[in-house]
Structures are given as structure tokens and as C-alpha cells.
């Protein structure tokens, strides 16, 4: 067993439609995850994130390429890989005829964990995910967010060395979302490694040390959130109310983006005084804030769409 949680080399996947056309979902993805890291896979709908996660977690065969999980080939040795991983699938649901308490406990027992440890980990997971009050209700009667919490609780309780979480916080309220973040941070502190996907870019930034952006089955970007922001030409955004119609006034300061009648200028701290002055002289109200990962994402992916 190697120390490296995941290493993917030139992974390709073509879904061969029996009726519809073939879909090239992955076109040569190479990436690696370091031990104890939280890594986010970002990308537009249909970019190939779930396909990659399903191949890496032995649920789907690649068309070509290789993925090793702790040194084991996911295609050749899936039985060695499975005990080392746990998965929250996209749109997964707990078994409807089990309660959250039974769901977590039975899953741990099925993985070969002793009764005693399974019992105590179940209680901790239910408590952390705020499920104690509904722990003995059939899952079918739970709210959407409660079902999702039960899925996360089930997987976190495994303490598996490598966890795949495909949009784990979808449908969760802001408190529950933060509870998941805390749980994932604690798991990696204890030595687990986490690969997640999310469309909440604030979450990716708060949670992950490193990001990959996938676009049309290829890796478009690899680095930290700060690296991504550096790619867009400035660290600050000046938002100018009703600045859209006078966009030309501000073009020389950096990239400008119109949103409704508002105008955003992406720029650096050295130009702020000048821009604010100009806005004031034109009786426009302006505010300054840091650029967000979402803006960086829109720019990086947008640029790639334009090139096509």
C-alpha cells in the first residue's frame, strides 16, 4: 500500500449511447491528491466531476487511463480499494426503511467495524450532523436536508482513509453546511483525505487547500483559491452603481463586467483612489471588496468557452 491517496493518469471516459450519441465525459484527466488534504473538484454542470468520482470509487470503468488509490489500481484491484474509501454519491438517499441511527450503524457493521465501535461512532456522527432528534424516525419521513445529513453522517462515521463527497452540502441550511465543514476538517486532522465537488465556491474556498477546475472533461486549472484569483488580473473589485452606461470611463483600470445597470471593475489596490475619485466626480456610488473565487471561476471557465 502506498502513501499516496489518489493518482489519476490520463483518464478518459466515453459513454456509448445505445440510442443517443456517444458522450466524451472525460478527455484525459490527470490529477493527484496528497495525504490529509481536502481537495475540491469544480466545474460547470456536465463537466465530468461525477464521472471522475464514480471511476475513482470503483463504480464505473474508465475507457482508458489509470487511477491508483493508495497504490491500488481501481480497475485491477477494486476489492483492495473499497475498504479504503467511502462515498457520498450525488443525489444519494439513505435507505428509506431504515432510521438514521440504523443506517449509520448498519453501514459501519457492513464494513466490518465492531459492534462497540460502530455504536459509539454512530452516536457521535448523529450528534455532529444534528440528527439526534430524528435518529429513530424512518428515513422516508425525513426532510430533504435531513436525508442529506444522514448520508454525510454515514460516510463520516467510517473514518475511511479517502472520502469522496459529491456535492455533500446540497440542500443543507447554512448551519448544517458549516457542521459538514467542521466534520471534514476534523477528519483530515485525524489523517483522512477528502475529495469533494461543490457548486458553492465560498465552500470550496473555506474548505479546500487545493482546487481543480474541470471543463468539458479536461483540467483547466490546478492550484489554490488565491492562485485562481491571481489569474483574473486583480485582487479587488470596485462595484459602481449605475456604472454600466459609462463603462468606457473605467475600462483603463482593469477588466470591467456589467451586471444589470451596475459595473464591476477588477483591479489592484494601487488604482483604487483614482477609480473612487472618478466615480465621485461622476456622482456614482462605489464600493470596494475582495474578488471572490466565484468571479475567478467565471473568468477562467468563461475564457475557455470564448476560446472555443
Ligand X SMILES: Nc1ncnc2c1ncn2[C@@H]1O[C@H](COP(=O)(O)OP(=O)(O)OP(=O)(O)O)[C@@H](O)[C@H]1O
* Residues forming the site for Mg ion (CB under 5 A): 49-50, 90
Q: What is the per-residue burial (b if ≥16 Cβ within 10 Å, else e) of 47-69?
A: bbbbbbbbbbbbebebeebebbb
* Count of residues in contact with ligand X, rule CB under 6 A: 13
Q: Which is nearer to ligand X, 45 or 114 (CB)?
A: 45
Buried/exposed code over 243-276 (b: 16+ C-beta within 10 A; e: otherwise): bbeeeebbeebbebbeeeeebbbbbeeebbeebb
Please, what is the Cα angle at 240 between 236 and 241, to 5 degrees?
145
Helix (H) or strand (E) holding 107: helix 100-110
> Is position 46 an interface residue for ligand X (rule: CB under 6 A)?
yes
- Quick check: 11 binds ligand X (CB under 6 A)? no
183, interface contact from ligand X, Mg ion, none, CB < 5-8 Å by kind: none
- Number of C-beta neighbours around residue 26 at 10 A: 27
Q: Which one of 42-50, 80-88, 205-213, 223-231 is the stretch in contact with ligand X (CB under 6 A)?
A: 42-50
- The window from 17-25, 117-125, 155-163, 300-308 that contacts ligand X (CB under 6 A) reads 17-25
One of 8, 31, 33, 47 touching ligand X (CB under 6 A) = 47
Which of 14, 23, 59, 170 is the binder for ligand X (CB under 6 A)? 23
Q: Is 51 in the site for ligand X (CB under 6 A)?
A: yes
When the beta carbons of 205 and 216 are compared against ligand X, the nearer one is 216
Helix 174-189 vs helix 115-128: angle between axes, to the nearest 10 degrees? 140
Task: Write down the least CB distance from residue 278 to ligand X, Å.
Answer: 40
Paired sense of beta strands 286-290 and 236-240, if any: antiparallel
Footprint of ligand X on residues 68-107 (CB under 6 A)? 90
Q: Which does 43 bind (CB under 5 to 8 A by kind): ligand X, Mg ion, none?
A: ligand X
Q: What angle do CA 43, 46, 48 make, to 5 degrees?
A: 70
What residue ranges bind ligand X (CB under 6 A)? 15, 17, 23, 25, 43, 45-51, 90
Amino acid at each position: 500500500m502506498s502513501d499516496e491517496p489518489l493518482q489519476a493518469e490520463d483518464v478518459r471516459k466515453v459513454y456509448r449511447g445505445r440510442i443517443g450519441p456517444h458522450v466524451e465525459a472525460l478527455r484525459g484527466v490527470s490529477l493527484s491528491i496528497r495525504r490529509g488534504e481536502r481537495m475540491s473538484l469544480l466545474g460547470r454542470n456536465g463537466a465530468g466531476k461525477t464521472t471522475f468520482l464514480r471511476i475513482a470509487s470503483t463504480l464505473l470503468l474508465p475507457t482508458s487511463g489509470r487511477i491508483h488509490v493508495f497504490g491500488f489500481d481501481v480497475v485491477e484491484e477494486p476489492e483492495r480499494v473499497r475498504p479504503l474509501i467511502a462515498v457520498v454519491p450525488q443525489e444519494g438517499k439513505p435507505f428509506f426503511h431504515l432510521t438514521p441511527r440504523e443506517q449509520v450503524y448498519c453501514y459501519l457493521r457492513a464494513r466490518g467495524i465492531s459492534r462497540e465501535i460502530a455504536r459509539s461512532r454512530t452516536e457521535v456522527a448523529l450528534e455532529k450532523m444534528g440528527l439526534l432528534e430524528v435518529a429513530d424516525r424512518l428515513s422516508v419521513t425525513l426532510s430533504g436536508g435531513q436525508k442529506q445529513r444522514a448520508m454525510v453522517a454515514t460516510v463520516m462515521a467510517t473514518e475511511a482513509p479517502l472520502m469522496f463527497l459529491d456535492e455533500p452540502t446540497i440542500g443543507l441550511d447554512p448551519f448544517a453546511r458549516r457542521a459538514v465543514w467542521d466534520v471534514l476538517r476534523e477528519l483530515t486532522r485525524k489523517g483522512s483525505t477528502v475529495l469533494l465537488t461543490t457548486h458553492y465556491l465560498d465552500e470550496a474556498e473555506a474548505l479546500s487547500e487545493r482546487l481543480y477546475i474541470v471543463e468539458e472533461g479536461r483540467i483547466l486549472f490546478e492550484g489554490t483559491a488565491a492562485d485562481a484569483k491571481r489569474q483574473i488580473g486583480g485582487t479587488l473589485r470596485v462595484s459602481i452603481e449605475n456604472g454600466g452606461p459609462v463603462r468606457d470611463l473605467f475600462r483603463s483600470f482593469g477588466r470591467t463586467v456589467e451586471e444589470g445597470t451596475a459595473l464591476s471593475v477588477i483591479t489592484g489596490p494601487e488604482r483604487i483612489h483614482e477609480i473612487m475619485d472618478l466615480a465621485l466626480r461622476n456622482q456614482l456610488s462605489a464600493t470596494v471588496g475582495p474578488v471572490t473565487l466565484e468571479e475567478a471561476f467565471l473568468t477562467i471557465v468563461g475564457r475557455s468557452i470564448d476560446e472555443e
